[in-house]
Structure 1
Amino acid sequence: MRFATFVHDGKRQAGAVADDQVHAFEHPVELLDLIVEGEQSLRGAGERALAGILPLPLADVRLLPPLRPPTVRDYMTFESHVEGVARGYGDTVPEEWYAAPAFYFTNPYAMIGAHDDVPLPPGCLRFDFELEVAAVIGKAGRDLTPEQACEHIIGYTILNDWSARDLQGREMKVKLGPAKGKDTATTLGPWLVTADELEPHRNPEGFLDLALTVQVNGEHVGQDRLADMAWTFEEMTAYASRGTWIRPGDVLGSGTCGNGGCLAELWGRGGAFEPRPLVPGDTVTMTVEGIGTISNTVVEGVAPVPLPPARRRR
């Protein structure tokens, strides 16, 4: 099944998606609340919506992020992406990358919908996209094995980890990871696809084998297969749960795919800012087989509020 959160006639609603239509739940409820109640509650609400509610054309609603995630972990599981970006710094893939599926926590308040405008981050001159797939946790757990983790993933969606590369580059020198470089917007959508829908795409090695493509202003920029990940979502979930809890609604991003899944990889491989960084008016469209399409247009942002530099220790 597929579940969306949307606005129609100024009212925020959630429901089940089928045949280019969305069927609102019979009683107002947040998708995350149903996920917390359990998969049976979610599916029951979806079945009742599909059976008894007059649908709305998807073209008549504004899609919001499917859910408001309590946490968002973003991984880096495509070796070709890591290698391409590292090349731009005269570097190679560090051995530590192969040891475990590394991630960082990003801003859950920055989620935007599948077709929302994306403002340039304040002060950004090198704006970039990142094509990813995200798993959504449906059941709490900790210290899971990958086999156990399979039962904790309720579904998948598309994630675009918008990145201010110039801000990110400065921040990474402080050794704390990206912050404002990744803080303005993250697209999540267009809807949540339950895990069972994608099982037919699982290959013998246990990876979901889905085609990923990205276009800028209608021009093809990159493509990859989700099966090129170095770890499965179940392994990533197990690692996320090591020594701590994962809970319903937590989002786990795959990390950027390779072969042009972001501009920074192409810059690293080519040694120049080609294609150019994103500017207002650019539209980035991402399609993932079995899930759907998201398309966002970059718009002008706001100027950064001035802050003083650090008071240096005397």
Structure 2
Amino acid sequence: MSNRRSQSVDPLIRLFREVCGDVPDLASLARMHRVSSALNLRDNDAPWSMITVLEYYARLYEAMPERIRWASEGSLEAARREVGGATDALMQQHRDALERCKATSQLAETLTQGALPIDWSEVGPPLPRAYQYLDGAAYVSHIKRNRAARKEALSDDLMEKPLVYQGISHGFFGWDDDIPLPSDALGIDFEAEIAAVTGDVPMGVTPQEACSYIRLFVLLNDVSLRALIPGELKRTFGFLTGKPASSLGPIAVTPDELGELWHDGLVGGQMLCSVRGEAVGRIDTGIDTPFHYGDLIAHVAQTRAFEPGTIVGLGTVSNEDESAGCACIGEIRALETLRDGKPSTPFFSFGDRVRIEHVGHDDQSVFGYIDQRFVPATR
């Protein structure tokens, strides 16, 4: 593990190579690091593309005197050829760098205007796979309703320790991928969530510290098979076959870009959920939970460190106010059971669709949306 990390490429080297098509020497790299420290730039800040091109020019100009001196030690004709060749090469490199600079400037302008064209059909999950996928059940009304419908008691420490399980991390579906499953008699359900993506998290981190290790947030559909889950839980060894691969929304957002939506360790706004084309929930995601993302991360980090790219879900969003609706069919059926004595809303059949979207206080989409169909699996 330590070898893999020690061999990671300096992000400035990678950027220099992408923008200029070359690898910086140690002097160039040292200058760029000085600029980074002086301006307090992060590795992904926009000015880096311009700074990289300027550094590339500086390196070319620095090399010219030595090339001319070397050429002058030979014959006059050789010097002319060398200087001429160096000049031609320099001009070509200038032209190439200028084209890259123009392209970078145009891209930056397009991004600032919010007009970058996106072919959504080509957009996959932000993380096709992760080192670790952890999912919780932090919204207490979701737990209470489901346990009450099954006539099961709540655990004594429900409000003291978050419930967390470890799911499939080696593959996530994209926002519009079909979800293949072996049978639609398995109680196919969705669970609408917002997941955090962490950087390196040290073992023993506190809940307050843990939030600072969150790098991104993304929409999550935690696919669940309700016909399998009760039997697995009764065996007291946790979820396995009842939790197949999950799906991620198309856009991951940094905490700072969420603005006022990111507060007190939670992401505010509303989760909009539709089942078979019918709206079933508009849930406030920033309330009605005793635990925030830092609590879940710290709970698991008691005995382990996290690799970068660990995904942490807070659980199916749910509000105490029943008029907000639900973010999974299981909870809808639980409320029907408590009210009518039996559930009436069916789980998904093959061909059915689910749609999940999270919006801010201005009703604008934050992470894009998930819109998926459930289909028979093929071998």
Query: In the alignment, what sits opposite 2:172?
Result: 111
Q: Equivalent residue of 1:134, what SS? A: strand
* Distance in structure 2 (CA, Å) of the matches to 1:82 and 1:168: 14
CA 1:47 to 1:260, structure 2 compared with 1: closer, same or farther past 3 Å? farther
Q: Is the 8 A contact 1:240 1:246 kept in 2?
A: no
Instruction: Choose from 120, 127, 139 the match for 2:200.
Output: 139
* Distance in structure 2 (CA, Å) of the matches to 1:111 and 1:124: 23
Query: In the alignment, what sits opposite 2:261?
Result: 201
Query: In the alignment, what sits opposite 2:117?
Result: 57
* Distance in structure 1 (CA, Å) of the matches to 2:265 and 2:308: 23
Normalising by structure 1, report the TM-score. 0.76
**Counterpart check, 1:223 vs 2:282:** yes
Normalising by structure 2, report the TM-score. 0.64
**Counterpart check, 1:283 vs 2:343:** no
Query: In the alignment, what sits opposite 2:305?
Result: 245
* Distance in structure 2 (CA, Å) of the matches to 1:71 and 1:247: 8
Larger radius of gyration: 2
Q: Equivalent residue of 1:178, what SS? A: coil
Matched residues, percent identical? 27
1:130 offset after TM fit, Å? 0.3
Query: In the alignment, what sits opposite 1:301?
Result: 377
Question: What is the CA deviation profile of residues 259-312 of structure 1, one whole-angstrom value per residue up to 9, with x for unaligned ones?
Answer: 411111111221234321101111100011232211111112359xxxxxxxxx
* Distance in structure 1 (CA, Å) of the matches to 2:213 and 2:125: 21
> Counterpart amino acid of 1:226?
T
Q: Is the 8 A contact 1:157 1:189 kept in 2?
A: yes
* Distance in structure 2 (CA, Å) of the matches to 1:147 and 1:51: 39
Q: Equivalent residue of 2:250, what SS? A: strand
Q: Equivalent residue of 2:354, what SS? A: strand
* Distance in structure 1 (CA, Å) of the matches to 2:335 and 2:311: 30
Q: Is the 8 A contact 2:222 2:246 kept in 1?
A: yes
* Distance in structure 2 (CA, Å) of the matches to 1:51 and 1:299: 44
* Distance in structure 2 (CA, Å) of the matches to 1:111 and 1:47: 32
Cα RMSD (Å): 2.7
* Distance in structure 2 (CA, Å) of the matches to 1:167 and 1:117: 21
Q: Equivalent residue of 1:97, what SS? A: coil
In proportion to residue count, which structure has more helix? 2
* Distance in structure 2 (CA, Å) of the matches to 1:166 and 1:115: 25
| Runs (5+) with no aligned partner, structure 2 | 1-16, 20-40, 51-102, 319-324, 360-365
1:122 offset after TM fit, Å? 4.5
Q: Is the 8 A contact 1:87 1:269 kept in 2?
A: no
* Distance in structure 2 (CA, Å) of the matches to 1:145 and 1:232: 12
Q: Is the 8 A contact 1:84 1:265 kept in 2?
A: yes
> Counterpart amino acid of 2:170?
Y
Matches for 1:53-202 after TM superposition, within 5 Å: 53=107, 57-59=117-119, 61-67=121-127, 68-122=129-183, 124-183=185-244, 185-202=245-262
Q: Is the 8 A contact 1:210 1:227 kept in 2?
A: yes
Q: Is the 8 A contact 1:81 1:261 kept in 2?
A: no
